[in-house]
Amino acid sequence: MTARIEIVATGATHFPAENFLNRELGILAFNRRVLAQARNPRTPLLERLRYLCIVSSNLDEFFEIRVAGIKEQVKLNSVVATTDGLTARAAYRLISDEAHAIVEEQYTLFNDELLPKLAAEGIQFIRRSHWSEAQLEWIRGYFFREVMPVLTPIGLDPSHPFPRVLNKSLNFAVELEGKDAFGRSSGAAIVQAPRVLPRVIRLPQELCDCEYGFVFFSSVLHAFVGELFAGMNVLGCYQFRVTRNSDLFVDEEEVKNLRAKIQGELPQRHFGDGVRLEVADNCSTVMAEFLLSQFNLGASDLYRVAGPVNLVRLMQVPDWVLRNDLKFKPFQPGIPKALQKSHAIFDAIRAGDILLHHPYQSFTPVIDLLDQAAVDAQVVAIKMTVYRTGTDSVLMQSLLRAAQNGKEVTVVVELMARFDEEANIGWATKLEEVGAHVVYGVVGYKTHCKMLMIVRREQTQLRRYVHLGTGNYHPKTARLYSDFGLLTCNEEIGADVNEVFKQLTGLGRAQSLKHLWQAPFALQQNMLAAIGEEAAAARAGKRSHIIAKMNSLLEPGTIGALYEASQAGVKIDLIVRGVCALRPGIKGLSENIRVRSIIGRLLEHHRVFYFHAGGKEKVYLSSADWMERNFFRRIELAFPILDKKLKRRVISEGLQMYLADNTQAWDMDSQGGYHPRRSSRSKPRCAQSELIELLGP
């Protein structure tokens, strides 16, 4: 039996609930900022469509996880208030109203602005009422050839109860009259759209008066649904989609084989409790109420939409349309000069620490490092953490090759990485098959830190080469997310990383680390201490400054420390992409705190923490946001930038450019509202564009 480590949260806040903002409303506020990108006429047209789809994808996960959790609390009649003072029932009402408003704005934008503008550019989504005879004939052939053979209509009667409907799948509720071949007349049927069928179909160009003509799968089925019910009259056919609770709950302390348990639970994720029902706006009231009853949902859970019930399926359209003039201008990631001079990456790292700033600089050096290590005769061991890496990862292929070449390969795979569990189990199985050591971290704590260590025999000694990062080992997201990575062979950092790996793979007490701040042991305490030192400096009349960039700021103890630092006179600049529970700009509480969010073509993902520290300027990069889960329920790292030149780079590229941004920045007010930051008196500044220019080849 493994004893669970007891972690005591420090820095509990004494500030009242009115000084905090609601997490879920903050998530919806973030999605409003993303939606604003879709609304912005300066955004290239196909990218506007992509942003619209991103909002839908974000809302899907929001309902699957956050809303599902709140509805569970409501079901249990929980009266416990969160940090912001709201009970689950009160929060749900506010969330529901705001979510309905966002969805309505989405479809208004889609129908009234994006579709007409796309049509003007020769990209048309052709409605049934506008099909020509030639188009109708082609679509009829497509239906009988590609669609009808894989459909299974289910009539609802005592022998055919309502079918199990997969999470987020496309379905059709059909109202019928008449009798079938067996004399049955249930009046209703369900048609489930198989996932193998595309939701958007391109018509042959010769049949269109435009370059790109598309039809929705839903339009095709609506047009020919009568073919599925011979001799009966179709009174109505309505798209619907149910979103289910998809949070995977596994009591790790009660499980003997975690991987087997998760494998057994994964199929059930698709059939969790219903959370949201989306229907086409033409759905009859009777049918909508019937569907709600099937999923045990209420009227507030119903979302009527004027168009496809799943806008996420349009995400591929910008990639299908070969119109670069309607997309962001592509850019080529650069390679650090230190790596341009040498093909031997180990030689380059020995010459000095190397900072990688993705996606402005290529992720290829990380791939090359592992690739070279896999075949280097001097490499004796490789250790790596895996949180999200994808199903076709070249990095995992290198680890497999390294194990096959006789290296000691140890991989800490996080099996509970939400929505990546299946891919991670697959890689764990493959790694074990070639003799790698695969462990699953520590019971009760997700392994979220990003670290890679390569041990190489050089002459008479073993040298550790380390990569530490703020983002996942995922080549695809490394092209879309902003992240920092550090390549170093610093002996003390290598010793720290080795100690963390010992904790993850073995047993024993946590040892103090020389440079790294580690959660769940010391990360929050060290952050609070650094904030406290700035506050003490301010009280002594000395210069003080805190700048922090992250995805989310929620942990109440840390927020309380920031409030106290502000009251002491510390200047605090926070760059928080997503949800922020802190209220800035309140006199006597937070008037010295500014909060801004950057929303652009790339997803801001790196976490950067700066403390003036009496002029020493401490800079840490991290895999962790300032959230309770990151501080107390995950294994995380924050690592310092020790090289002075690289430290200046991080301050400039990761913080100062973002503070100067006046084209993609949103300033947050004390009520949680966001306002685009514009300055007519200064030239436009865009951090992402400047970094593309600065770090490109």
Give the Cβ contact number of residue 215 at 10 Å: 22
Give whole-number Cα distances, 474 to 30, 348, 367, in Å. 24, 23, 10
Sign of the alpha-carbon torsion through 172, 177, 181, 185:
positive
Q: Which residues pair with 357 in a beta bridge?
A: 484
The amino acid present at 18, given as its one-letter code, is E
183-209 burial: b if 16+ Cβ within 10 Å, else e: ebeeebbbbbbeeeeebbbebeeebbe
* 365 in Cβ contact with 349 (< 8 Å): no
Q: Which residues pair with 358 in a beta bridge?
A: 483
Q: If you search the block for the tokens 């700048």, which residue do you land on?
A: 547
The enclosing H or E element of 401 equals helix 394-404
Angle at 601 (CA atoms; ends 608, 216), nearest 5 degrees:
135
Task: Count how many Cα atoms sit within 13 Å of the Cα of residue 218 in the half-sphere of its side chain.
Answer: 23
Largest CA distance in the chain: 90
Tell which residue, 627, 662, 617, 463, has the closest CA to residue 557: 627
Tell which residue, 686, 258, 673, has the closest CA to residue 443: 258
Active site residue 448: yes
Give the Cβ contact number of residue 219 at 10 Å: 19
* 625 in Cβ contact with 552 (< 8 Å): yes
The enclosing H or E element of 469 equals strand 461-469
The amino acid present at 287, given as its one-letter code, is M
Tokens coding 363 = 């992720």
What is the DSSP secondary structure assignment for residue 149, as one 8-state letter?
Answer: G
Tokens coding 531 = 């904030």
Identified catalytic residue from 448, 467, 474, 612: 448
* 369 in Cβ contact with 398 (< 8 Å): no
Q: Point out the residues that are catalytic.
A: 448
